[in-house]
């Protein structure tokens, strides 16, 4: 293998695959990135066996095709530290790679391609076309609620429902739930329900670049995203996702409308004085007034603030985990939001005061029992 490439071009490719390469692995070959050069393009691949990312670029010069796996940490940090100059790569028969620049040379021992895991291949004839901005928005609005509980593996991913006239994404950890629906979605492919692991979702968010579309191919136990010059493969989370519609209340008729920025700053300040374990804040809701308060009996901390809100129902005292409240508020794009409430022990539905056209976005927040 022998070729020349600019530092900037190579580093951009390495950045795309770096997020999937494990820093430590019981399978040492996974700590490498795989270079494969054909007569036209350089392909660079990283994998942890669950998720794989492969990207391609055109070097300035190709003298000899070939392939080699190189230690990711060394090669990425070395390329990162170079200025944007030309780098000349050459591999010998023992898989040693010599990288030469105007400043000097660097040599590293590589590994034969026979030891690197084979990356799956798909045909994109059955690909589903997804708008980049919409895909980015839907993943961003759900991934925060994905569970980290290994005892409930089906919840450890974003649940995606692909329907002929609707695309749904849901995530929940049992304390909060986020659901977003694109009603403008149209698909001629077979309907499918899949659970995408969060690492793959994060990498999709990292690779979506501006306008345009991304193609998605659903296969049994595997999913593929095809970007402009990059392909991402991921195994799907196995298991049956719970019936989330059962936990979404339909009779929460007490509406609390509040300014998002004011509520966020209030909860942030008041929660500093809450119990370090429960992070409990109390919402005391009366007509046109919301009191947010907290206390920590162990250290004697206490705080209380009041906000003017829109509310015209029976008074309520509800306890929430402040961290979960903040997570949900961050997802709201409008200046104000609405809490749909019922009772102190019922889940609240939270939604923007206005929905985007063709979209239905709502989140569920479970209360916690008030300490007093």
pLDDT by residue (tens digit) across 54-99?
A: 999 999 999 999 999 999 999 999 999 999 999 999 999 999 999 9
- Residues 2-115, CATH architecture: Roll (3.10)
Q: Cβ(319)–Cβ(282) under 8 Å? A: yes
The pLDDT value recorded for residue 363 is: 98
On the question of pLDDT at 190 being above 90, the answer is no
- State the residue for tokens 């670049």: 209
% the chain with pLDDT above 90:
86
Summary mean pLDDT of the chain: 94
pLDDT band at 372 (very low <50, low <70, confident <90, very high): low
On the question of pLDDT at 110 being above 90, the answer is yes
Do the domains 251-365 and 125-246 match in fold? Answer: yes
On the question of pLDDT at 349 being above 70, the answer is yes
On the question of pLDDT at 312 being above 90, the answer is no
Q: How far apart are CA 200 and CA 220, in angstroms?
A: 16
The pLDDT value recorded for residue 299 is: 82
Fold designation for 251-365 = DNA Polymerase III; Chain A, domain 2 (3.10.150)
The pLDDT value recorded for residue 306 is: 97
Mean predicted confidence (pLDDT) in 205-226: 89
The pLDDT value recorded for residue 300 is: 82
Domain segments of the chain as ranges: 2-115, 125-246, 251-365
Mean predicted confidence (pLDDT) in 100-121: 90
pLDDT by residue (tens digit) across 357-366?
A: 999 999 999 9
Backbone angles phi, psi at 124, to 5 degrees: -95, 20
CATH number of this structure's domain 125-246, picked from the four choices 2.170.190.11, 1.20.1090.10, 1.20.58.1610, 3.10.150.10: 3.10.150.10
User: What are the distances in angstroms from CA 301 to CA 276, 293, 318?
Assistant: 11, 11, 20
Mean predicted confidence (pLDDT) in 152-161: 96
% the chain with pLDDT above 70:
99
**E strand or H helix at 78:** helix 72-81
Question: What is 54-117 written as a DSSP string?
Answer: EEEE--SEEEE-EEEEEEHHHHHHHHHHS-S-EEEEEE-TT-EEEEE-SS-EEEEE-B-GGGSP
The pLDDT value recorded for residue 126 is: 80
The pLDDT value recorded for residue 208 is: 87
pLDDT by residue (tens digit) across 30-44?
A: 999 999 999 999 999
The pLDDT value recorded for residue 18 is: 92
* pTM of the entire predicted model: 0.92
Report the residue count for the chain.
372
């Amino acid at each position: 293998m022998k070729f020349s490439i600019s530092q900037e071009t190579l580093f951009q490719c390495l950045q795309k695959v770096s997020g999937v390469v494990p820093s430590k692995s019981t399978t040492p070959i996974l700590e490498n990135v795989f270079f494969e050069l054909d007569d036209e393009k350089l392909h660079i691949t990283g994998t942890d066996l669950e998720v794989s990312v492969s990207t391609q670029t055109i070097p300035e010069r190709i003298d000899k095709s070939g392939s080699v796996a190189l230690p990711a940490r060394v090669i990425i940090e070395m390329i990162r530290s170079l200025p944007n100059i030309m780098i000349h790569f050459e591999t010998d028969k023992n898989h040693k790679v010599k990288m030469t620049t105007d400043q000097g040379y660097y040599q590293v021992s590589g590994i034969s391609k026979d030891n690197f895991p084979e990356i799956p291949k798909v045909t994109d004839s059955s690909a589903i076309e997804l708008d980049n901005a919409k895909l980015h928005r839907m993943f961003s609005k759900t991934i925060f609620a994905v569970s980290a509980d290994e005892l409930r593996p089906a919840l450890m991913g974003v649940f995606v429902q692909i329907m002929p006239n609707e695309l749904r994404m849901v995530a929940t950890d049992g304390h909060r739930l986020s659901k977003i629906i694109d009603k403008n979605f149209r698909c001629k492919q077979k309907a499918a329900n899949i659970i995408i692991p969060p690492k793959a979702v994060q990498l999709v968010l990292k690779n979506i670049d501006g306008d345009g579309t991304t193609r998605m191919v659903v296969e049994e136990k595997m999913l593929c995203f095809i970007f402009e010059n990059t392909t991402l493969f991921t195994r799907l989370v196995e298991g049956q996702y719970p019936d989330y519609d059962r936990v979404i209340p339909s009779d929460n008729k007490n509406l609390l409308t509040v300014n998002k920025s004011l509520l966020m700053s209030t909860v942030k300040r008041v929660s500093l004085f809450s119990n370090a374990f429960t992070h409990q804040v109390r919402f005391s809701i009366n007509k046109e007034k919301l009191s947010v308060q907290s206390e920590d009996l162990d250290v004697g901390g206490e705080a209380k603030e009041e906000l003017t809100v829109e509310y015209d129902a029976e008074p309520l005292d509800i306890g929430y985990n402040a961290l979960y409240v903040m997570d949900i508020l961050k997802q709201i794009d409008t200046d104000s939001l609405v809490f749909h409430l019922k009772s102190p022990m019922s889940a609240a539905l939270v939604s923007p005061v206005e929905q985007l056209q063709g979209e239905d976005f709502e989140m569920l927040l479970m209360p916690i029992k008030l300490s007093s």
